[in-house]
Chains A and B, each alone.
Chain A
Amino acid sequence: MKLSRRAMLGGIAGLATMPARAADYSITAVPVGDGIWMVRGADEPIEEHNGGAIANIAIIATPAGTVLWECGPSLRYGRALRQVAEQLTGQRIIRVYVSHLHPDHGLGLAAFDPAIVAALPGTIAALTAQGQGYADGMYRLLGDWMRGTDLILPGRTIMAAQEDFGGRVLRLLALSGHSSADLALLDERSGLLLAGDLVFHDRAPSTPTADLAAWRASLEQLKALPHGGVLPGHGPLDPTGTAAIAQTRDWIDWLEGALTQAVRDGLDMVEAGDLPIPARFARMAAARYEVQRSVSHLYPGIEAALLPRIDVKSAP
């Protein structure tokens, strides 16, 4: 078969304009307790090369079926995760929990029946108000990884303090601080505390929707709750159960103190974003990136609180 010159040119042009299909997600589930596995997110910002798969996920086998903690950033991720989880446990997924509104945790729910997806009422309200904006942002950052992903709201509102799946009891904690509604889950069988983004570990916490006072109160509650290890929203599993909670608290305390002092010292936002990060946070991934984001989130509010009014009514 001989191709005409026109057909060849058309073919080449077609290749050039066709968007590149992103690679598939590779999902590895690591056992972290009796009938519970962790899928580690990349300790990085949301970027093209990681497809937005930066949040940690848990897969829990129960006598009633498989339960997912978080469902990833996109339709494609959610589908791949469902396949991995159902192969692992040999049982269908009967519940998906979404811990809070941020898109790296919940946009993958497009791959599931919304009727089995549960979130706090505050999370569903926040997704209704802001979810489309987050979805747009994810498309801009991730392009083809997001193909087919629509914002879908969780169909189940969490009103109870626990769910019992054939004898495996999952306790549900309605907290806030990282966002307006943050779910944490205690798996009584393994003792693992799935903390969502209330707890970061060796990965700098992010603050786009944070209320730092509420966050501290939630961390106190998690600290006081009897539990084994902590599966943080981002970063490695904390088998001690205390280190990651303490580190998250240390970071937000340092952050707020440093930015407050920066306003008192007369620094502008760019300069505040370049403040030295204490050596004890040297192991934290994405630290400078998150400091600069946090300056954007928190600095104008601190300025409004600390800089005095200087306007005068009459012209001098």
Chain B
Amino acid sequence: MRRAKSLWVAIMLTLAPAGAGAAPPADPLGSPMWIAHARTLFGDDPVRFDPRVHVSFPMIAENQRAFPVVIDARGIAGVRRMILLADLNPIPVAIDYRPLHAAPYVATRIKLDQRTPIRGAVQLDSGQWLVSGGWIDAAGGGCSAPPVSRVKGDWADHLGEIRGEVWPMAQGYNRVRLSFRHPMDTGLVENIATYHLEALAVTDGEGRVLGDMDIWASVAEDPAITLMVDGSPDAALRVAARDTNGRDYRANLILARQSPMPGGR
């Protein structure tokens, strides 16, 4: 099976039009969408697979509406951009994160519409992309079933609620966890237009943007995002987000009342 997929990739590589920059490397996951996604996302930038990009997720997709994924590239210096991608999702990119003054780490939950590769792609200052990931089996419908809050009908009652906390970490980072109430409508459900958070930035007390990201509707309903931003112990952090209707979301995080993270994760 693996061999057949590799062969298919090899054939695709041979058939790929010449002159469009270097062809992406053969995909160890044998995904039918790898070449297309690689060309769209990485263009002519060099790409290689690198296991130092740790992409972790559970062994089972218990809930295809909210599947947790962590991309941790803290073992790599000079990461300027991180993309979370599920090849076979109708909305393949979930998050495009720029850790400006932050560790190259992001955790969130995404929808799965079928069995798919889950990938983390990180771009270095040199322009080089490093990619890693794995397959996850999943029942269908994560992207094409209505969100729970739409079915319950209470999404608007809670829109704008943000929960969060910040923990100082041993390595000088602050670990930030954010959770927004938002239906994150994909536009793939009958009579429910696309409506999702599309931008998020975390800023320090002096207005310096520590990290910002673009967000797509393949992020799970009620998005939960974990980051590790640069910090000083007395820092107050500000969170600003916007959705596709232009609604702004604001939150403040105060560090002082938290004790340091046990275990220094």
Which residues A240-274 have CB closer than 8 A to chain B? Answer: 265-271, 273-274
Task: Tell me if A273 and B261 are in contact (CB < 8 A).
Answer: no
In the complex the two chains form, what is the Cα distance from A307 to B263 in whole Å? 20
Task: Tell me if B226 and A311 are in contact (CB < 8 A).
Answer: no
Contact of A316 among B139, B250, B265 (CB under 8 A): B250
**B230 within 8 Å of A (CB atoms):** no
* A26-34, A185-193, A227-235, A294-302 - the one binding chain B: A294-302
Task: Tell me if A304 and B139 are in contact (CB < 8 A).
Answer: no
**B229 within 8 Å of A (CB atoms):** no
In the complex the two chains form, what is the Cα distance from A315 to B250 in whole Å? 6
Task: Tell me if A309 and B238 are in contact (CB < 8 A).
Answer: no
Which residues B53-100 have CB closer than 8 A to chain A? Answer: 56-60, 62-63, 66, 68-70
**B164 within 8 Å of A (CB atoms):** yes
- A residues within 8 A CB of B107? 268-271
* A64-72, A103-111, A285-293 - the one binding chain B: A285-293
- B residues within 8 A CB of A289? 59-60
Known: A266-B177, A296-B66. A308 touches B165 (CB 8 A): yes
A294 to chain B, nearest CB (A): 9
Task: Tell me if A300 and B66 are in contact (CB < 8 A).
Answer: yes
User: Number of residues in A with C-beta < 8 Å to the partner?
Assistant: 34
A205 to chain B, nearest CB (A): 14
- A residues within 8 A CB of B66? 296, 300
A206 to chain B, nearest CB (A): 10
**B109 within 8 Å of A (CB atoms):** yes
**B252 within 8 Å of A (CB atoms):** yes
Task: Tell me if B179 and A307 are in contact (CB < 8 A).
Answer: yes
Task: Tell me if B164 and A266 are in contact (CB < 8 A).
Answer: no
- A residues within 8 A CB of B167? 265-266
Task: Tell me if A273 and B58 are in contact (CB < 8 A).
Answer: yes
Q: Provide a sorted-by-A list of 23 A–B residue pairs whose CB atoms are within 8 angstroms.
A: A140-B139, A265-B167, A265-B265, A266-B167, A266-B175, A267-B265, A268-B70, A269-B68, A269-B224, A270-B68, A271-B265, A289-B60, A295-B58, A296-B66, A304-B163, A308-B163, A308-B164, A310-B163, A311-B162, A311-B249, A311-B250, A313-B250, A315-B250
Known: A300-B222, A312-B250. A270 touches B163 (CB 8 A): no
- A residues within 8 A CB of B56? 270, 274
A1 to chain B, nearest CB (A): 34
- B residues within 8 A CB of A303? 163, 179, 224
Known: A270-B107, A308-B164. A293 touches B224 (CB 8 A): no
**B253 within 8 Å of A (CB atoms):** yes
**B46 within 8 Å of A (CB atoms):** no
Task: Tell me if B58 and A307 are in contact (CB < 8 A).
Answer: no
- A residues within 8 A CB of B253? 310
**B127 within 8 Å of A (CB atoms):** no
**A4 within 8 Å of B (CB atoms):** no
3 closest Cβ pairs, A-B complex: A269-B68, A296-B62, A268-B107
**A87 within 8 Å of B (CB atoms):** no
Q: Which of A265, A268, A288, A295 has the most CB of B within 10 A?
A: A268
**A314 within 8 Å of B (CB atoms):** yes
- A residues within 8 A CB of B240? 315
**B26 within 8 Å of A (CB atoms):** no
- A residues within 8 A CB of B179? 303-304, 307
- B residues within 8 A CB of A316? 238, 250, 252
Known: A266-B261, A271-B70, A314-B250. A296 touches B58 (CB 8 A): yes
- B residues within 8 A CB of A300? 66, 222, 224
Binary contact track B158-188/A, C-beta < 8 Å → 1, others 0? 0011111101000000010101000000000
Known pairs A267-B265, A303-B224, A309-B162 / 13 extra A-B pairs, C-beta < 8 Å: A45-B60, A268-B70, A269-B224, A270-B70, A292-B62, A293-B62, A295-B58, A300-B224, A310-B162, A310-B253, A312-B251, A313-B250, A314-B250
**B50 within 8 Å of A (CB atoms):** no
Task: Tell me if A268 and B252 are in contact (CB < 8 A).
Answer: no
Contact of A315 among B58, B62, B163, B248 (CB under 8 A): B248
Task: Tell me if B139 and A292 are in contact (CB < 8 A).
Answer: no
**B262 within 8 Å of A (CB atoms):** yes
**B239 within 8 Å of A (CB atoms):** yes
In the complex the two chains form, what is the Cα distance from A277 to B197 in whole Å? 36
- A residues within 8 A CB of B252? 310, 312, 316
In the complex the two chains form, what is the Cα distance from A315 to B262 in whole Å? 33
Q: Which residue of chain B is the closest to A312 with respect to CB atoms? A: B250
- A residues within 8 A CB of B63? 296-297
In the complex the two chains form, what is the Cα distance from A269 to B62 in whole Å? 12
In the complex the two chains form, what is the Cα distance from A288 to B59 in whole Å? 9
Task: Tell me if B177 and A268 are in contact (CB < 8 A).
Answer: yes
Q: Which residue of chain A is the closest to B61 with respect to CB atoms? A: A296
In the complex the two chains form, what is the Cα distance from A238 to B175 in whole Å? 45
Q: Which residue of chain A is the closest to B165 with respect to CB atoms? A: A307
Task: Tell me if B224 and A310 are in contact (CB < 8 A).
Answer: no
**A137 within 8 Å of B (CB atoms):** yes
In the complex the two chains form, what is the Cα distance from A67 to B164 in whole Å? 53
Which residues B100-114 have CB closer than 8 A to chain A? Answer: 107, 109
In the complex the two chains form, what is the Cα distance from A309 to B153 in whole Å? 22
A175 to chain B, nearest CB (A): 24
